[in-house]
Amino acid sequence: MIMDLAFYLVAAFTLASGAAVVRMVNLFHAGIALISCFLGVAGIYILLGAPFVGAMQVLIYAGAIAVVLLFGFMLTHDLMHPKAERFQNIPGLAAATLVGGMLCLTAVATDWGVEGRPLLQGDVKHLAESYMTYNLIPFQLVALLLLVSLIGSIVIARKEEAKP
């Protein structure tokens, strides 16, 4: 009973943080809310009995990626005084509805277990072997994509130097 209550509290915190990320106009505050959302997801993993995945969530997402995002936010111009451009509300709502519908269809169509046994079996060693053997190229491509996006944000945020 207490675990159920803890799960619902952490899930509500995570959902509230995610909604705050989307609704915040100030990019810095949205980044802080994103870190809160990542920590809430880590709490859910821990409550569901996956402490290693929860720890990796804190280290990788709440730590490294959130710091990179906040670093990129700091390089943007007029961070604390954003322009109120609301022309993307309707297309954003349409895209979010489409993605949410696809996720719901995927969740309904997925076979989540076989004869009462969990779908995911194995341990951390199996997961590490999978990442470093069969999935090494996609893993490295994601790391390269993150590096390129960070460099791109620095280039975009860099002020043009005025010629004398």
How do residues 8-41 score in pLDDT, each as one tens digit? 999 999 999 999 988 888 777 888 898 899 999 9
User: Which option is the CATH number for 1-82: 1.10.1840.10, 1.20.120.1200, 3.30.1280.10, 3.40.50.740?
Assistant: 1.20.120.1200
Of 149, 163, 164, 162, which is closest to residue 75 (Cα–Cα)? 149
First-to-last C-alpha distance (Å) of the chain: 70
Place of tokens 């969530």: 57
> Where residue 83 falls among pLDDT bands split at 50, 70, 90?
low
Token pair of 29 as six digits: 């505050």
Token pair of 85 as six digits: 């451009």
Of 32, 69, 31, 33, which is closest to residue 154 (Cα–Cα)? 69
Mean pLDDT over 62-80 rounds to 71
122 backbone dihedrals φ, ψ, rounded to 5°: 125, -175
Of 126, 108, 118, which is closest to residue 52 (Cα–Cα)? 126
Mean pLDDT over 156-164 rounds to 62
| pLDDT tens digits for range 87-129 | 777 887 888 899 889 988 888 887 665 555 554 555 667 777 7
Token pair of 147 as six digits: 């590096």
- Alpha-carbon span 117 to 19, nearest angstrom: 34
- Alpha-carbon span 14 to 148, nearest angstrom: 29
